[in-house]
Amino acid sequence: MPDLSLAAAPPPALEAGDLAALFPLDRSYTFLNHGSFGSTPLEVLAAQQTIRAELEARPIEMLDRQMKRLLPEARARVARFVGADAARLGFVTNATEGVNAFLRSLSWQRGDEVVVIDHVYNAMRQSLRRMAAELGIVIREVVVALPVRSPADCIEPIVSAFNQRTRLLLLDHITSPTALVLPAREIVAEARRRGVITLVDGAHAPGSIALDVSEIGADAYTANLHKWVCAPKGCAFLAVGETLAGSVHPLATSHFLGEGFGREFDWQGTRDFSPWLCAPIAIDFFERFGWNRVRAHNHAMACWSQRVLCDRWQVEPISPIDGGMLASMAAVTLPDGVQARFTEPASLQAELYDRHRIEIPIIDWKGRWHCRVSCHLHTGPESIDRLARVVLGLRG
C-alpha cells in the first residue's frame, strides 16, 4: 500500500457558510454523483425560468429575431471560458451528440480504423458499433491497465495502436468509469504527427480542470456544460479546428446549411434554447468565487476522498495517490467482502440509495467493482466519512 498518511486532514471549505444551500439538492440524501448529471444552482435555475418566460411571452420575437444575437453572445462567452474560437464552436445538447455530429460528418471507407481506449464512455462505444455495422469501420479498443502509475502509462498503448489504416482517435479527456485525467495534449500531438484525425470527448472537463481547447490541438473537442459548470441540462458544445470546420454539421440539418459553423449549430430547429443561454450565467455564477479556487477545492476534495477511502477500505489506488491524474472525481475499489453479497453493481447501487440514502455510481471494471466519488462545492468530508462507514458495514 502507498503512504496514505496525508488522508487525515480534509481540505477546508472554499468559503464560510452553507455552500450546499446554493443548490436545490435533496439534503436528506448523501449526493456523491455530481459527475453524472450535476445539480444546477438555484440562482441559475431562476435565470432559466426568466428566459423561458420571455420565450413564451414573445415566441416569434425571441426565437426568430433575438436568438440571432443572443446565441452568438452566449457562444462567445463559452469560447473564452474553454479556450476555443467562437466562430468554430457550436452548441449541442450533450457530448454524445457532439461526438456523433463529428463522426457522421466524416467520410468513411470500409476498413477505416478508429482507436479508443477500453475506458471509453459506453455511449461512444455504442455509437462506433453502430457505424461499424453500417459502414464497415473497424474499432481498435486499446487496453490501459489499472492501476495507472503515471500519464505515460496511457500514451504508449495508444500510440502503439496506430497503423496505416487508423483514420481517427476518439479520446476521453477524463474517463467516465475510472475518473482518470488523460494527457490529451500529448496524445493528440502523437496522433497528428501520424496523420490521424483526433476527436476528444471532454464530457467532464469544463469546470473540472483548467481547459484550453486550442492548446490541446485536436481536430474536434466536445464537452458538457451541465456537469461541472452546472448549466441547465442539455447544454454542451462542439469545437472544431479550422481544417475540418467547413465539413462538420449538426445531426439535424436545418435552414442555415453552408452559412457558417456557428450559424448552422445555433439553429437546428425549434427547441428550448434556455440551457444554452444560461451557460454564461452558470460560468459567471462560479466566477464570483474564482474558477481557479473552485477547481482547486473540488480537486483537493477528490484527492482527499481517494486517500481516505483507500486507507479505510485497505485497497490499492487505481491512479497516483498524489492526485496527479484526478480532477473532481475519484474511482475507488470496493473493500473485500462487499461485492460477493450482491448479484450485480446495480443491486449494490440500489442498496446504497434505497436503504442508506447515498447516491453514488457502482462500476464493474473487468470483474472488480468500484465506486466513483464526485466532489463539488456541496461536498463535505462528512459525506465521504458516511460512505466509508456504510460500505464497510456491507461486508459479508
Show the 3-state SS of 153-169.
HHHHHHHHHCCCCEEEE
Same domain, 97 and 173: yes
- Within-domain flag for 350: yes
37 occurs within a structural domain: no
Q: What are phi and psi of 128, to 5 degrees?
A: -70, -35
**Shared-domain flag, residues 212 and 308:** no
pLDDT at 2: 58
Q: Which of 246, 263, 285 marks a domain boundary? A: 285
As a whole number, mean pLDDT of residues 343-367 equals 97
279 & 352 share domain: no
Whether 362 is in a domain gets the answer: yes
The three cell numbers of residue 314 are: 485497505
CA–CA distance, 358 with 297 (Å, rounded to integer): 22
**Does residue 231 share a domain with residue 187?**
yes
CB atoms within 10 A of CB 76: 15
Residue 344 has pLDDT above 80, yes or no: yes
- Statement: residue 254 has pLDDT above 60: yes
CA distance 387 to 296: 22
Q: Looking at 270, 285, 300, which one is the last position of a domain? A: 285
Q: How far is residue 348's CA from residue 369's CA, in Å, rounded to a whole number?
A: 10
The three grid cell numbers given for residue 44, joined into one nine-digit string: 441559475
How far apart are the C-alpha atoms of 217 and 166, rounded to whole Å?
Answer: 18
Please report, as a single letter, which amino acid is at residue 165: R
One DSSP character per residue, 288-349 reads TT-HHHHHHHHHHHHHHHHHHHHHHHT---SS-TT-TT-SSEEEEEPPTTTGGG-SSHHHHH
Q: Is the pLDDT of residue 339 over 90?
A: yes
Question: Does pTM surpass 0.85?
Answer: yes
Residues 146 and 65 in one domain: yes
Residue 218 φ/ψ, nearest 5 degrees: -75, 155
Report yes or no on 38 lying in a domain. Answer: no
Q: Do both 175 and 106 map to the same domain?
A: yes
Query: Is residue 310 located within the same domain as residue 273?
Result: no
Give a yes or no: residue 17 inside a domain. yes
> Considering the chain, what percentage of its residues have pLDDT values greater than 70?
98
Total domain count for the chain? 2
Q: What is the DSSP letter of 246?
A: G
Shortest CA distance to 187 belongs to which of 173, 177, 201, 176?
173
Range of the domain at 181: 44-285
Residue 379 in 3-state DSSP?
Answer: coil
pLDDT band at 6 (very low <50, low <70, confident <90, very high): low
DSSP state of 64: I
Q: Do 218 and 91 share a domain, yes or no?
A: yes
Residue 119 maps to which CATH number?
3.40.640.10
Q: Indicate if 96 and 198 belong to the same structural domain.
A: yes
Are residues 220 and 296 located together in one domain of the fold? no
Q: What is the enclosing helix (H) or strand (E) of 237?
A: strand 236-240
Q: Is residue 86 part of a domain?
A: yes
**Higher pLDDT residue, 147 or 260?**
147
In a domain, 312, yes or no: yes
Rounded-to-integer distance, Cα 69 and Cα 89, Å:
15
Say yes or no: 346 and 324 in one domain: yes
Q: CATH number for the domain including 377?
A: 3.90.1150.10
Of the candidates 314, 393, 330, the one whose C-alpha atom is nearest the C-alpha of residue 356 is 393
What does the pLDDT read at residue 24?
A: 97
pLDDT at 69: 94
Given 230, 255, 285, which residue is the final one in a domain?
285
Residue 39 located in a structural domain = no
The verdict on 280 and 294 lying in the same domain is: no
- Listed range (4-8, 344-348, 372-376) with the worst mean pLDDT: 4-8
Whether the predicted pLDDT of 251 surpasses 90: no
Q: What is the pLDDT of residue 256?
A: 86
Average pLDDT of the chain, as a whole number = 95
